[in-house]
Structure 1
């Protein structure tokens, strides 16, 4: 009888220890999952206003107010590129661009007026839309926004964001216009931006991407701009 009672106590203790062990493991797993979720959320938050430059580099976009003025513009993007068969292709995309103190709204339309893509950039977050079935045929809206912002936003704003990555954006002026050159961390030219006029919105802008092998000509059809009041 004594041996039977001892055996029952031993079994009870083992079951209790096993239960505690399982509880501890479950708590540890829950804690690990929580940490992983928090890390994923933090990483996602950090990437929310970033655009990929290459396989290893992401750059945070400037704030809307960094442009220095509000802007409403109608533009025509003419894109030339080589397809997979190495045939030269070209497309046109009418664009509507609006920039306020805290928001950028960009929309691209078909020639018959249907919205093909759009993007809203506000509070360091993107809200994007691409027409169903066209995601493989159209550029990502945030990439269109990046091209637009690196073309129009002041060079000083970009230099502070690119420098930590080892990238550079240079600018030289000519008698009639200016040129910007985007260099990667190996000092290789990624893109060139040629302005027909010192004031970007008053002349054609030619954006040449040497890595992805495409050229965009941006023609501003009409625009309205007003300087921001930084004291408001």
Structure 2
């Protein structure tokens, strides 16, 4: 599978193929990500309960191009782990976010992709509770759940990110992420059920 810049669209997978070992912010040791040009946010702590474990086929769309990749997501009360796999099950990358920051391992050579903090922002924005995000958001920004959607809005009330959910096995799980400012869309298909 050829990994191209369109993988940026696959925000969950991009973290995997990075060249750096750790990315963190100077004030609290936690990574940061861009919500919009010129607006960044420090990610919430990595722990989440109950734990999450899923295999996902991600299909991203950016600038009229699509790309798919198999991703394994595991998160518990101490860390988040993302692994990207080829179509035949060969691990392409591994990214871990814990109390020491983001750590990545790259198994194949690939073009430069977004920083791990950017990828984790989409994962965490989708799964972490609103209460974990509220103190992290810039002044005037809001993150609200409205039925089967979660909306991130800027200080002027403009929609920045919209996440759509479905009930799966008694849990509310994300099935798409639409990022309006950076103009990408990710569809999430759960595997192994």
Normalization by structure 2: what TM-score?
A: 0.75
Deviation at 1:170, TM superposition (A): 1.3
Give the SS at the match of 2:155. coil
Give the SS at the match of 1:112. coil
Aligned to 1:146: 121
Show the 5 A alignment for 1:1-232. Answer: 44-46=26-28, 48-65=30-47, 67-82=48-63, 88-130=64-106, 133-136=109-112, 138-162=113-137, 164-173=138-147, 178-197=148-167, 199-201=171-173, 205-222=175-192
More strand by share: 2
More helix by share: 1
Give the SS at the match of 1:196. strand
Determine if contact 1:118/1:141 at 8 Å carries over to the other structure: no
Determine if contact 1:119/1:142 at 8 Å carries over to the other structure: no
Distance (Å, rounded) in 1 between the aligned partners of 2:165 and 2:59: 15
Distance (Å, rounded) in 2 between the aligned partners of 1:207 and 1:101: 24
Determine if contact 1:192/1:209 at 8 Å carries over to the other structure: yes
Distance of aligned partners of 1:161 and 1:45 in 2 relative to their CA distance in 1, 3 Å threshold: closer
- 1:34-78 deviations in whole A, cap 9, x for unaligned? xxxxxxxx963546422222343221222233x321222111111
Q: Runs of 5+ in structure 2 lacking a partner? A: 1-23
**Higher RCO structure (Cα 8 Å, ≥6 apart):** 2
Paired residues in the alignment total 168
Determine if contact 1:208/1:214 at 8 Å carries over to the other structure: yes
Distance of aligned partners of 1:110 and 1:156 in 2 relative to their CA distance in 1, 3 Å threshold: same
Deviation at 1:131, TM superposition (A): 5.0
Deviation at 1:192, TM superposition (A): 0.8
Deviation at 1:149, TM superposition (A): 0.9
Distance of aligned partners of 1:63 and 1:91 in 2 relative to their CA distance in 1, 3 Å threshold: same
Q: Runs of 5+ in structure 1 lacking a partner? A: 1-41, 83-87, 224-232
- 1:71-99 deviations in whole A, cap 9, x for unaligned? 221111111111xxxxx211111111111
- 1:114-137 deviations in whole A, cap 9, x for unaligned? 33332111115111234554233x
